[in-house]
Amino acid sequence: MMKNVDSFSFYEFFAGGGMARAGLGQSWRCLFANDFDKKKGATYERNWGEGALVVDDVRHIGPNTLPDHADLIWGSFPCQDLSLAGGGAGLKGDRSGTFWPFMTVIQGLIGEGRAPQMIALENVVGTLTSHKGADFIAICDALNRLGYRFGALVADASLFVPQSRPRLFVIAIRSDLTPSQYGQGPQQPWHTSALRRAHDQLPTRLAENWMWWNMPKPPKRKQNFRDLIEDNPESVAWHSAKETRELLSMMSEINLAKVETAKLSGVRMVGGVYKRTRFHHGIKVQRAEVRFDDIAGCLRTPAGGSSRQLIIVVEGDRIRSRLISARETARLMGLPDSYQLPAGYNESYHLTGDGVAVPVVRHIAQHILEPNLVANRRTEETIAA
């Protein structure tokens, strides 16, 4: 039976709350989803249906667990050991090192004649420089040994939603297929200087299998940070006047000047605030740093209060502040308000801060994944006929 050329199937690994699934969209059918986190698994099922995800360590997943034959395998493997804030263990770390058993699962599928046409990997941009580029080379080498050609993109979610969130996407296609949607060289904004340097470090045998994936830049984003803010959030409370004053007292002269400029703007201004440890005259002090550039700072998984983003709302002389709400973090990831978040604030923040921006996935699917799958499916059907 011929497959519908306009529908696709996938396995979703390290699935979290299913943001890759949301981004792929209704034309995609999820055959299998996996994450080791029980809390995230519960949220996944609330949104995608009971039994939609298997909660287990990827090391315990074998080909016999995976049904049918997927067109795509998506893997947003853990970033903790690859991020600049991590311990630097890279692909040898306990968390990011789960990349290797994930590759073993794909190897098993290939051995059974169920090799996916495409593989998509997502992680932090620190992957490019982890261990002086050795970890990125290892990822490319692993895909090469599986029989895939590969390329990478760096996509900042700020092109789509008001959040600064650059992420690395490595896209691979089976070597026996005819690829499309690629160019002869790097293209802005997807191929950053860091990515180009990482590419230049690849051994010749890997560089020969490299592809400069090509997709259009999206239309200019119309939505700003202030458009997403809740006046009456349920998950957090507005600070008291005293708490807001204390937050302002933690700001340097440069950051206070930003607040004063916002007061004079004549419109409601919303800024994202992070508390950071800085040195002042050789002494460690905690500072509150604000940005009023219409985008939020990158959502991070909260490990203590210092990493949670606050907001400050300035309307003339009126200044209010609070933690960013759970729903606001979901909106910054491109999730619709119909998406059901966990009841707990920290759990919600952890879920969204650990995810992949939905519209970025949609853009990659629309301009790279789907065109390649459709073209090769039609070729297969022509041969079969």
Q: Look at residues 302, 305, 273 and name the one whose alpha carbon lies nearest to residue 289.
A: 273
Q: In this structure, what CATH number is given to the domain that contains residue 71?
A: 3.40.50.150
Verify that 42 and 145 share a domain, yes or no: yes
Q: Are residues 241 and 177 in the same domain?
A: no
Q: Are residues 206 and 306 in the same domain?
A: no
Kindly give the residue spans of alpha helices, DSSP state H, lying in the chain: 19-24, 38-48, 99-111, 134-145, 193-200, 204-207, 241-249, 253-263, 326-332, 345-353, 358-364, 370-384
Residues 245 and 185 grouped into a single domain: no
Domain check: are 69 and 176 in the same one? yes
Give me the sign of the Cα torsion angle 345, 346, 351, 357. Answer: positive
Q: How far apart are CA 31 and CA 255, in angstroms?
A: 49
User: Does any domain span residue 180?
Assistant: yes
Q: How many CA atoms lie within 13 A of 184 on its CB side?
A: 0
| Same domain, residue pair 137 and 29 | yes
Q: What is the DSSP string of 325-385?
A: PHHHHHHHTT--TTS---SSHHHHHHHHHTS--HHHHHHHIIIIIHHHHHHHHHHHHHHH-
What CA–CA distance (Å, rounded) separates 164 from 276? 17
Is residue 230, in this structure, part of any structural domain at all? no
- Domain-located, residue 42: yes
Of 174, 156, 59, 77, nearest to 119 by C-alpha is: 174
Q: What is the domain count for the chain?
A: 2
Is residue 226 a part of any domain in this protein? no
* Same-domain check for residues 58 and 173: yes
- Where is the domain boundary, 284, 306, 324? 324
- Quick one: 316 and 366 in the same domain? no
pLDDT value, residue 75:
96
Q: Averaged in consecutive runs of 10 residues, what is the pLDDT profile of the chain (385 residues)?
A: 70 96 97 96 96 93 94 84 52 66 94 97 93 92 97 98 97 96 95 98 97 96 95 96 97 96 95 88 88 92 66 96 97 98 94 96 98 82 46
Whether residue 132 lies inside any domain: the answer is yes
Residues with Cβ within 8 Å of 347's Cβ and at least 6 positions away in sequence, in order, are 39, 43
Output the CA angle 364-167-370, nearest 5 degrees: 10
Let me know whether 177 and 299 are in one domain: no
Range of the domain at 13: 8-220+353-384
Last residue of a domain, one of 278, 304, 324: 324
| Tokens linked to 320 | 């209010």
Residues 34 and 176 in one domain: yes
Closest CA to 333 of 351, 309, 346, 345: 351
Where do we find the tokens 């315990």? 60
